[in-house]
Structure 1
Amino acid sequence: MSQFDDLAIPMTYQDAVAQLYARIPEVIKPGLERIQALTNAMGNPETNAPIVHVVGTNGKTSTTLMAATLLQAFNLTVGSYTSPHLQVVNERIRVNGEPISDNDLLRITQLLTPFLAVADGSGHGTVSYFEALTGLAFAYFADVPVNVAVLEAGMGGKWDATNVGHNDVVIITPIAMDHPELGDTLVAKAKEKAAVIDPESTVICAPQHPDVMAIIRERCDAVSATLKVYGEDFELAGRELAVGGQMIDIRGVGGETTEIFLPLLGHHQAINATLAYAAVEALFDFEAELNAELVREGFVHAKSPGRLERIYRDGEPLVLLDGAHNPAGMETLAQTLKQDFSFERTVLLIGMVADKDIETSAAIIADLADVIVVTTPPSSRAGDPARLCDVLKARGKDVHCLNDVEAAFDAATNLTRSDHSDAIVVTGSLYLVGAIRDLLAEPPA
């Protein structure tokens, strides 16, 4: 018996979102049975378009959005599905870069409701929030319809709801330690993520730890998938900073494109762009060199909100938003702050959720800040800020602890000097990044 047996058709956008949130589980139950029951009831909309599936630990959202933007430049209608959202749930589901509208989210949820009821009663338990959103995305993409869907795995691989369809192209971003529920070793995590590699698919793989790479090669051999590896089959051929971003050259599997302007910062974003480039080549079966002008047109529109996102305000310090939330992400942020920025004074505003490696993450980023403000991300999973404060104070840092996000941001602002090249770096959680975007009245990303 499901708690949603008497599921009502939502009549407003707010009703639709509330019904989705009501499905957030207390404990995540692995398995594809519920999403399969849902998509089967809907007539399998996940089969309507080729799928590019993005898995890994960090960089998935940026790579997903760049691959989608690049495909759009080739005159395709492209659906993209990412998680989590920063401000509103609509951000997760996009067609040609535009988030699903409130009206369409309500309309598709209304169409989805009876199928959710069928899936809830299938004997596998209640369809979860993420599973329902994934079904909603597939239904919307079929309704448009899209020519290709680019899907970011939620947090896993094999049992992730996004793995319900056949993956034509798989992008594997760097795999690192995160989400202990997926295994306590890199090899265990690699096996979980490599399981999305389907027979006859093409895999575009970022640089990996040798043990991880061995697992990926083994899986590709087992299912006759084609593997293309960064540094062997394609690579970033050149990179230099430019106003508002960076200029990059990409040597792909089938050809090279130079003088690409990427309006995102960081060496890691250049690598992500290279993965996206190779994935587009793969979707076109490596049959011809990509048109250079279309590549440049696609990348010039690349966006990745909350990932080294710069917010400029008149008479106020720069705000740099980065959702790094694990040691690998913090290492990338730290490297980029050293390489691509030169602030006179850096105020770090940080808040993390309880299940992350707070000690290691804090140690990586702490020494790059002159002053640190610790706060509580707006999440039920938020960690005790006192724990983070103690870790940072033990490193001899000037630390201010304020639970309220708005008060913490005001304090961070007051600790900068508006007539200097100072900056507030907001990090530790995408929940915190989203809250700061709201405070700054930034429109949903």
Structure 2
Amino acid sequence: MPSAPRTPDPVRTRDEAERFLLGRVNYERRPIPPDALRLDSVRALLAELGDPHRRVPAVHIAGTKGKGTVASLVAAGATAAGLRCGLFTSPHLVRFEERLTVDGAEPDEATFVRLVADVAAAAGRAEAGGAAPATFFEVSAALGFLHFARSGCDLAALEVGLGGRLDATNVCEPVVCAITTISRDHTAQLGHTLAAIAGEKVGIAKPGVPLIWGGGPGEAGEAIRARCEAVGAPFVPVDPAGPTGDWADLPIPPGGPHQRANAATAAAIFEALRTAGWPVMPEAAARGAAGVRLAGRAERFPPPTNDRGEPIGPEILLDVAHNWASAGALAGALRADAGERPRFRRVCLVLACAKDKDAAGLLRTLLPHVDDLTCTRFLKNPRAVPPEDLAALARSLTDAPVRCDPDPQSAWAGAVRRAGAGGLAIAAGSFFLIAELRPGVAAVRAKSA
């Protein structure tokens, strides 16, 4: 017989809040069983909290790549337009609070502890009543909904975590939905064809709610169009070449050519909001979007310089690219670099990869653009591919130098040293690797600025 649910320990400090969160089953750190994704647990948890997700209208955004960027653009534009706007994204790089911001600000410590305490108590009640234990991501979504409701948000931009149909965010009540792109990722959960993956992601479609499609023509788009017609959701495809019409001045985020499609998708969301009567105007949206910079997403740090302004080290590029589509976007950014300036003296890549990702696809996409590869791992998550296995795979695909260093900090220091002045040092392959490297990179570059 299953054991009775344990009453959660009280949450009074941030350490206790983090302990509660880390005690939840976390599919960002372990494989997802085939039947693990469901909505009943998060619904039971939210019911114990008074259904906060029903009190804040949402813009709901799914997609293989770009959904975090689009959600951030929408939230920044809405805030600049005078709306109080929440933003829910995942995963976080350094602090959990990055996942749930209001008007660009993370909750302070007291607010965060109170939120977690209330969600922990609600989880205890729901589970005592027979609900399955809420996972880490379901708890995260509940924290976001509760924070946005208590903060008096007019609107929330919600990034889907995985898929769409069975994602915990799919209990929201959207006024606009969007799907950015579709490519092969999480195939064990979502399917092995683009049409199957699209079928899971378009599970966010709701009757009468416009669905913006930013991925262009093809198999996935047709599957999404068909499902929208079946559900009664207006289907709104966008031109991935960039924003047009009244929204033509919406800034393109830095990071590469793929950002034009992300900006076009955000512009279409703004237009749908305006059409529905929301006070979002192009000038305000552009002003807000101009400040959007996503940590670890094609994030660049300029080279350090000496007293004469001469570079004494490489430019840095951190990118959480972890699947074929995001690696392709990073490769596109490197091609754009090559077309705009003399080639970097030396391009050195540090790569780590999770076991459920297409490591061969990542390597085939990125290796043509680098001179030097170091395979490493991340240390704070057990899903890393052993670096020696990654290096053996890389050596089968390239004649370029391939190094193996199981210490990510040592691997990064070596790449920076080899890239040198006039070079480019890149870290990519996983959110988890960037989370471990970025604090040190940012601190060093801030000191030298």
Q: What is the TM-score with the length of structure 2 in the denominator? A: 0.90
The one-letter code of the counterpart of 1:433 is I
CA distance in 2, matches of 1:290, 1:95: 17
**1:279 matched to which residue of 2?**
269
Moved more, 259-268 or 376-385: 259-268
**1:243 matched to which residue of 2?**
none
2:425 is aligned with 1:403: no
Q: In the alignment, which of 53, 66, 83 is matched to residue 76 of structure 1?
A: 83
| 8 Å CA contact retained: 2:164, 2:202 | yes
CA distance in 2, matches of 1:431, 1:288: 37
**1:20 matched to which residue of 2?**
21
Q: Provide the secondary structure at the position in 2 that maps to 1:97.
A: coil
Going by fraction, where is helix more abundant, 1 or 2? 2
CA distance in 2, matches of 1:282, 1:215: 22
Q: Provide the secondary structure at the position in 2 that maps to 1:169.
A: strand
Q: Provide the secondary structure at the position in 1 that maps to 2:211.
A: strand
**1:143 matched to which residue of 2?**
150
CA distance in 1, matches of 2:353, 2:175: 35
Q: Provide the secondary structure at the position in 2 that maps to 1:76.
A: coil
**1:50 matched to which residue of 2?**
57
Moved more, 35-44 or 310-319: 310-319
Q: In the alignment, which of 202, 206, 225 is matched to residue 198 of structure 1?
A: 206
The one-letter code of the counterpart of 1:327 is W
Question: CA-to-partner distance for each residue in 1:255-284, whole Å, 9 max, x for gaps?
Answer: 423444445231111211111111122122
CA distance in 2, matches of 1:344, 1:313: 13
Deviation at 1:65, TM superposition (A): 0.7
Deviation at 1:152, TM superposition (A): 0.7
| 8 Å CA contact retained: 1:2, 1:125 | no
2:389 is aligned with 1:387: yes
Deviation at 1:3, TM superposition (A): 7.3
Deviation at 1:16, TM superposition (A): 0.2
Q: In the alignment, which of 331, 334, 337 is matched to residue 334 of structure 2?
A: 337
Residues 42-441 of structure 1 mapped to structure 2, 5 A cutoff:
42-180=49-187, 181-208=189-216, 210-231=218-239, 236-237=241-242, 250-251=243-244, 255-285=245-275, 291-312=281-302, 314=304, 315-341=312-338, 342-378=343-379, 379-394=381-396, 395-418=398-421, 421-441=422-442
Q: Provide the secondary structure at the position in 1 that maps to 2:419.
A: coil
Deviation at 1:120, TM superposition (A): 2.0
| 8 Å CA contact retained: 1:351, 1:429 | yes
Going by fraction, where is strand more abundant, 1 or 2? 1
CA distance in 2, matches of 1:311, 1:17: 31
The one-letter code of the counterpart of 1:363 is R
CA distance in 1, matches of 2:5, 2:346: 53
Deviation at 1:164, TM superposition (A): 1.1
Question: CA-to-partner distance for each residue in 1:96-127, whole Å, 9 max, x for gaps?
Answer: 11122222211111122221112223434211
Q: Provide the secondary structure at the position in 2 that maps to 1:408.
A: helix
The one-letter code of the counterpart of 2:208 is E
CA distance in 2, matches of 1:377, 1:130: 21
The one-letter code of the counterpart of 2:375 is V
Q: Provide the secondary structure at the position in 1 that maps to 2:293.
A: coil
Q: Provide the secondary structure at the position in 1 that maps to 2:61.
A: strand
Structure 2 gaps of 5+ residues are 305-311, 445-449
| 8 Å CA contact retained: 1:2, 1:121 | no
| 8 Å CA contact retained: 2:5, 2:128 | no
Deviation at 1:338, TM superposition (A): 0.5
CA distance in 2, matches of 1:5, 1:114: 11
**1:245 matched to which residue of 2?**
none
Deviation at 1:207, TM superposition (A): 2.3
Structure 1 gaps of 5+ residues are 238-249
Question: CA-to-partner distance for each residue in 1:307-343, whole Å, 9 max, x for gaps?
Answer: 1101235233111011110111111110111013542
CA distance in 2, matches of 1:382, 1:183: 23
Moved more, 330-339 or 181-190: 181-190
Question: CA-to-partner distance for each residue in 1:191-228, whole Å, 9 max, x for gaps?
Answer: 11111101111111012452212221122112211111
The alignment covers a number of residue pairs equal to 423
CA distance in 1, matches of 2:207, 2:251: 35
Question: CA-to-partner distance for each residue in 1:391-441, whole Å, 9 max, x for gaps?
Answer: 2222112011100011111111121222xx211011000111111112225
Deviation at 1:174, TM superposition (A): 0.7
Deviation at 1:236, TM superposition (A): 3.8
Q: Provide the secondary structure at the position in 1 that maps to 2:356.
A: coil
| 8 Å CA contact retained: 1:317, 1:423 | yes
Q: Provide the secondary structure at the position in 2 that maps to 1:163.
A: helix
CA distance in 2, matches of 1:401, 1:109: 40
The one-letter code of the counterpart of 1:351 is A
List 4+ stretches of structure 1 deviating above 4 A.
1-4, 25-28, 286-290
CA distance in 1, matches of 2:324, 2:253: 25
| 8 Å CA contact retained: 1:167, 1:197 | no
The one-letter code of the counterpart of 1:320 is L
| 8 Å CA contact retained: 1:2, 1:120 | no
Cα gap change, 1:292 to 1:33, in 2 (>3 Å): closer
| 8 Å CA contact retained: 2:247, 2:267 | no
Moved more, 27-36 or 53-62: 27-36
CA distance in 2, matches of 1:40, 1:311: 45
The one-letter code of the counterpart of 2:336 is Q
Moved more, 408-417 or 32-41: 408-417
Q: Provide the secondary structure at the position in 1 that maps to 2:258.
A: helix
CA distance in 2, matches of 1:51, 1:260: 21
Deviation at 1:285, TM superposition (A): 2.2
Q: Provide the secondary structure at the position in 2 that maps to 1:170.
A: strand
| 8 Å CA contact retained: 1:13, 1:106 | yes
CA distance in 1, matches of 2:345, 2:4: 55
